[in-house]
Amino acid sequence: MERVKNKFKAVIFDMDGTIIKTEHVWDQAMKEVLFSKGIKNFTEKQHKLLESLSGIGLTKAAIVVKEEFKLVECVEELVGESKQIACKLFETGVEFIDGFENFHKKLQQNMIPTSVATNADQTSLNLLSRKLNLSKFFGENIYCVEMIGNKAKPNPDIFLHAAKKLNVEPHECVVFEDSLFGFQAAKAAGMKCIAIKNGINHKNLKLVNHAIDSYHEAEQALIKLFSKK
């Protein structure tokens, strides 16, 4: 870290699927909403559509699901049902992605400021923050989409907000992300982006500066990223 810590000034993390294993929770919550409407069998296309909702934000996901499955319920009702189910699933156990805690500790040891910038709503963020004590890692630098007028990724607003709060310029930041919309938002914000690989983002890795399988590779990714300069 010593080799590169002077080449960037802050690290911004997405939350769901990037530092916390939650994508399965949101996927299951939306499917249970559909189950409750009597929809229990999905076509291959619909399975892929549901997978593609990763990182899109709950409201946008509900809009897509309502249209695809011709639901009569309003978007707000679908969002509320999904939140209720997800909150119950969160209580059964969520955890950090492997290696995150040690990597973040190295950033702290090197006095590199960090932040969370997520498409999650305030209720979900508060629950996960309490569950995993996010303030221990990020202090007050934990920001969600509701704080910036619900301008969700791929809009860059949440990343720009985090940079402003950290008192750094966008080009001085490195973003860790896992979703297509997150990659697009980081690029639009003018920030470097390192992807956390998963089962569905492999086709979108051309949009990022570097990609890693786990946080055990994160420090080397930073070194490679800034050794290119």
Range scoring the smallest mean pLDDT among 53-57, 86-90, 143-147, 172-176: 53-57
Digit-coded pLDDT (tens) for 109-143: 999 999 999 998 898 899 889 889 999 999 999 99
Q: Distances in Å between the alpha carbon of 187 and those of 11, 73, 175, 194, 214?
A: 14, 35, 10, 11, 21
Digit-coded pLDDT (tens) for 17-60: 899 987 777 778 888 889 998 898 888 889 888 877 766 777 88
pLDDT on residue 54 = 67
CATH superfamily of 10-21+94-227: HAD superfamily/HAD-like (3.40.50.1000)
Residue 220: pLDDT over 60: yes
Confidence of residue 209 (pLDDT cuts 50, 70, 90): very high
Contact of 74 with 81, CB cutoff 8 Å: no
CA 209 from chain centre, in angstroms, equals 17
Report the alpha-carbon distance of residue 51 to residue 46 in Å, rounded: 9
* Cβ neighbours of 89 (radius 10 Å): 16
pLDDT on residue 228 = 62
* Residue with the larger pLDDT of the pair 51 and 77: 77
The token pair that represents 202 in the structure block: 């492999």
Where are the chain's structural domains?
10-21+94-227, 23-91
